Amino acid sequence: MTMMSRFGALLGLALIAAGPAGAEPLTVENIVALSGAGIGDEAVIAKVKASGTRFDLSADQMIALKQKGVSGAVIAAMLSSGPTAVASPDSPDPGVAHPTGAYLLMSDKMTRMNATVSNQSKTGGIIGYALTAGIASASVKASIQNETSRIQTPDKQPTFYFFFDEANADGRVSSTWTSGNGSAILSPSEFTLVRLMKKGGRREARVGSFNIGGAKAGVMDKDRIPFDFALVRPGVYKVTANSPLTPGEYGFLFSLQAGAGATGAAGARIFDFTVI
């Protein structure tokens, strides 16, 4: 490289370094000049990563870069570069990264639904159970605080989005989607949509029953509200009820462990909402 060309490359490097952040992305020509300046792969790779420029290189372009003295390590950094996705909890676009969790689409934004934990279980129908010597069934109910949810919607057939860990592909397991047995929740099929009944300043969901013939754990079939879900992209699902909901209290309940009974009801987590 001649003295003049080396000076030009160094001048280009100085101009890039001195330019305002985000003023102009790096170009392939910039990379060739930086590599030819002899400043080392580590510095060039650091500049590529810091710029956030996305390089969509063809095979021919990669060969041409190699022939112009750009190292394989720098080319690899160019291929993996790009703007860092920023999680946006209220963006209505399911294609945008969101923190893992359940969201209600409302008023052109996503509203994150925090799980309400059932801190007590209750039984119902005990008198009938006792009077019939166990022939009539008694029920087990999960109970959560307050008679209404802080998440309220006028939409009778609201749209929800569930974002699982795969959506962000960061390798972490979020506690948001950890079930009672410690395993990760992977799809909406592991939830049950139920109507919650107001009672004594609380809301209740029937999650089991027992009689002389045995016990059942989980939401009864007649208490389930059918819903559909569709995969939007890896780790992201769109969820809607099959039919309009009447005004009242509702929630997506984690599937309870078989045989958990009252213990499972006391630790149930419900993503609750109100249709007004």
261 and 139 part of one domain: yes
Instruction: Give per-residue pLDDT as tens, 6-49.
Output: 434 433 443 344 333 444 678 889 999 999 998 899 999 988 88
Give residue 268's pLDDT band: very low, low, confident or very high (50, 70, 90).
confident
Query: What is the pLDDT of the chain when averaged over all its residues?
Result: 77
Is residue 87 domain-resident?
A: no
160 and 254 part of one domain: yes
Is residue 96 domain-resident?
A: no
Is residue 94 domain-resident?
A: no
User: Which domain range does residue 28 map to?
Assistant: 3-79
For residues 177 and 185, is the Cβ–Cβ distance under 8 A? yes
**Which pLDDT does position 174 carry in this prediction?**
46
Higher pLDDT, 51 or 210: 51
199 and 261 part of one domain: yes
149 and 225 part of one domain: yes
158 and 58 part of one domain: no
State how many domains the chain has: 2
Is residue 31 domain-resident?
A: yes
- Distance between CA atoms of 50 and 30, rounded to whole angstroms? 14
105 and 74 part of one domain: no
Is residue 123 domain-resident?
A: yes
Is residue 14 domain-resident?
A: yes
Of 14, 46, 79, the last residue of a domain is: 79
73 and 167 part of one domain: no
pTM of the predicted structure, to 2 decimals? 0.61
Segment among 3-7, 146-150, 246-250 with least mean pLDDT:
3-7
**Which pLDDT does position 3 carry in this prediction?**
42
71 and 171 part of one domain: no
For residues 205 and 215, is the Cβ–Cβ distance under 8 A? no
Cα diameter, the chain:
102
Instruction: Give per-residue pLDDT as tens, 29-40.
Output: 999 999 999 889
* CA dist list (Å): 32 to 20, 22, 36, 61, 251: 21, 20, 6, 12, 57
129 and 209 part of one domain: yes
